[in-house]
Amino acid sequence: MHILNQILTPERTVSHAHGPSKKRLFETIVKLVCANEPSLHYEEILDHLITREKLGSTGLGGGIAIPHCRVGSCTQPLGALLSLATPIPFDAPDDQPVDLLFVLLVPEEACQQHLDILANVAHLFSQQAFCRRLRAARDSHTLYKAACRDAE
């Protein structure tokens, strides 16, 4: 089964999101996730995402970033997908701004699961046809369907 179908929901998928900076975008993402998962704690997730990003950019290149972290209050892996209205700098290796983000949160103790899911997500986003499909989506519903299409 397609990994995104297991960890992504329509409620955590946003097309043409606005974020003038990486930090503001993280704040938007965390609000989105916490609204959908009330057991999660805003400050905890934001702190973990920012701390992880300080270790090194999660920008992969080609306009893609996969911010990720382990979170104590997270009980199962979950993701959020955003396409951006305007690409933002993300300190990616190719110095290209990012316009597609997939955020991955996993339980604190899920070290190997974190790595396995991250590898699967990175593989998906390395496929040009997949990214073209996401970038072509004009609304959040279409973006979600485009991301999870292979699972149907």
| Residues classed as catalytic | 68
pTM: 0.91
DSSP-assigned letters across all residues of 22-79:
HHHHHHHHHHHHHHH-TTS-HHHHHHHHHHHHHHS--EEETTEE--EEEETT--S-EE
Question: Could you state, in order of their start, the residue ranges of all structural domains in the chain?
Answer: 3-151
pLDDT in tens, the chain (152 residues): 478 888 899 999 999 998 888 999 999 999 999 998 888 989 999 999 999 999 999 999 999 999 998 787 787 889 999 999 999 999 999 999 999 999 999 887 765 665 788 788 999 999 999 999 999 999 999 999 999 975 43
Q: What is the CATH topology of the domain spanning 3-151? A: Mannitol-specific EII; Chain A (3.40.930)
Q: What is the pLDDT of residue 150?
A: 54
Q: Which two tokens mark 138?
A: 């004009």
